[in-house]
Amino acid sequence: MPEGPDIPPLRRSALAEHPFRQFREWYERAEREVPLAQAMTLATVDDAGAPDARMVLLKGIEPDSFNFFTNLSSAKARQVEASPLAALVIYWHELHRQVRIRGRVKRLSDAASDEYFATRPREAQIGAWASPQSEPLPSRAVLEARVREIDERFWGRPVPRPPFWGGYGLRPQEVEFWQGQVGRLHDRFLYTRTVGGWRLERLAP
């Protein structure tokens, strides 16, 4: 956490009225100054209600959702299909900033998944076909053999999106913007969705 006086306080008057506009402002700076600025933690719960979390990549900021992509048979996909309430945490250490997001997850359209899949490097496209994500794997050699098989299958032509791979969007109910300050007196502002729009309030550190 910051120990010097060089980080100005975060004030209500400097924040946008809509959390997505505020997020874009912070995210654009993070992309310039933070390695892998799109890395975020996705937290879900399993069938027993036990929490689970992993790192994913933010791959789209829609007008009303934060998007990520995965194998639709993976543990995370099974969990959000069964219990669609989830949370995201994005932390940019270099900027002493954090964004916390809670809301409901919905599957993205096939068209949106196709569009993003086409932008992935070929190696990642082949990997999406080859990996039975979250399932037991006998050995690395089995996975590598599967990669060679898929590579040969699509040799010389574009790799299509697997039918078992796609995207999800988290539509937030709450978005908290956190900025570190000296003495752990951090600035925190919470946007909460209401019937009439977004309510914004400061939280104690």
Rounded to a whole number of angstroms, the distance between the first and last alpha carbons of the chain is 13
CA distance 55 to 193: 25
**176, containing H or E segment:** strand 165-179
Annotated active-site residue 78? The verdict is no
Backbone phi and psi for residue 101, each to the nearest 5 degrees, phi listed first: -135, 130
34: tokens are 């933070």
26: tokens are 């912070």
Active-site pick, 54, 146, 184, 202: 184
Q: How many CB atoms lie within 10 A of CB 86?
A: 21
Going by C-alpha positions, the residue among 95, 46, 86, 49 that lies closest to residue 65 is 86
Backbone phi and psi for residue 79, each to the nearest 5 degrees, phi listed first: -70, -45
**Which residues have a catalytic role annotated?**
184
